[in-house]
Amino acid sequence: MADSWTFAVARDDLGRSTLVEGATPALSDGEVLLRVDRVGLTANNVTYAVLGDSMRYWQFFPPDPRGLGREWGLPPLWGFAEVIASRVPEVAAGLRVYGYLPPAGHLVVRPDRVDESGFRDASAHRAGLPSPYNVYRSTTGDPAYRADQEDLLILFRPLFFTSFMLADQIVDNDFYSAASLVLSSASSKTAYAAAFELHGRGPRLVGLTSPGNLAFTRSLGCYDEVVSYHDIGVLDAVPTVYLDLSGASSTRAALRGHLGDQLVRDIAVGLTNQTPNADAAEEVFFAPVQMRKRSLDWGREGLDQRFTEAWRRFTGVVSGWLDVQVGTGPEALQHAWLEVLAGRTPPRMGHVVQF
């Protein structure tokens, strides 16, 4: 490839993608150049693209108009990058950071609120976007960082943060007085991380999954019961909270038909009213909302401490649930995108790409 590169997908057809070569970006005063080093690709990244317009995910990394037209979008990724040039005295070259990255060789950021933990990108086009996505954590100032767990951080940290906040909101509301919590898409990383946080703390945890994922999901040990979507009728008719991570309208209809008034809460997780199934839910969970509440309740350091404690508990077991497949170069990223988009990635597999 050339000095730099960009991977983009067609906003109206996520299966159509392109790799564009380009020059390494130049810096202005107050800017820092990051070299994207190692990223992950999960169904979460596909969700960013699906909701790119409604949730403004396309706005984080607008394509260079000289290389790509408006019909293309850059799906955000999570991973590690290195500062290779800086015009900000407080940010030195060589700093390694974790955060929200474009599917590209480089990213120019405008650091603000710089301290030992990292910085925020104060670039004008990101000013009105959700602040948790603008944080870049220094590996030297991040209590959750361990060098031998970088791939776990890449694949799970953003998902686990959602799971952690979801579990916290449920506990914060005394489990909505439910006797059972039912999670769809139970084999997904976000679902089973939430189940891991909730297991043994209150109501019975039930995972719903496809027949092909039953064995894997049961092997995790974080659900009290795992059943197929076809067997919803076997669920106990007790006060139940439904946590919808699948977006399948047929699953919601089956639960409502079976449980009736015993379905006391119906929560779509990570979906928006642009998704028909979320519109049918009683409410939508969005992690930054609970994060803001807990930042006020606990302070930033208190939230970080609780997250780190939960993360360490989770990483103590999750490596046994995951097989990491590492690819190299932009072409490997393009391949991984198509695999995840098509649903060909087994629940045990995680895609990581090194550049």
Instruction: Let me know: does 104 contact 3? Beta carbons within 8 Å.
Output: no
Query: For residue 55, what are its two tokens?
Result: 């949730």
The SS3 call for residue 306 is: helix
The residue type of 44 is N
pTM of the model: 0.88
Query: Max alpha carbon distance in the chain (Å)?
Result: 63
Instruction: Let me know: does 241 contact 268? Beta carbons within 8 Å.
Output: no
Q: Residue 273 above 50 pLDDT?
A: no
Q: Residue 343 above 70 pLDDT?
A: yes
CATH superfamily name and code, 4-142+322-354:
Medium-chain alcohol dehydrogenases, catalytic domain (3.90.180.10)
Determine the average pLDDT of the residues in 68-78.
94
Instruction: In whole angstroms, give the CA distance from residue 76 to residue 19.
Output: 15
Report pLDDT digits (tens) over 300-314: 899 999 999 999 999
Q: Which of 262, 260, 188, 252 is nearest to 226 (CA)?
A: 188
Ranges for all domains in the chain classified under CATH 3.40.50.720: 157-289
User: What is 317-347 written as a DSSP string?
Assistant: HHGGG-EEEEEESHHHHHHHHHHHHTT-S-T
Ranges for all domains in the chain classified under CATH 3.90.180.10: 4-142+322-354
Report pLDDT digits (tens) over 312-338: 999 999 989 999 999 999 999 999 999
The topology (CATH level 3) of 157-289 is: Rossmann fold (3.40.50)
The rounded mean pLDDT for the chain is 93
Q: Residue 46 above 90 pLDDT?
A: yes
Q: Which of 70, 119, 61, 69 is nearest to 90 (CA)?
A: 119
Instruction: In whole angstroms, give the CA distance from residue 24 to residue 336.
Output: 24
Q: Note the pLDDT of residue 158.
A: 87
Report pLDDT digits (tens) over 200-237: 999 999 999 999 999 999 999 999 999 999 999 999 99
> What does residue 326 show for φ and ψ, rounded to 5 degrees?
-105, 125
Which is more confidently placed, 239 or 270?
A: 239
Query: For residue 208, what are its two tokens?
Result: 């719903």
Determine the average pLDDT of the residues in 69-77.
94
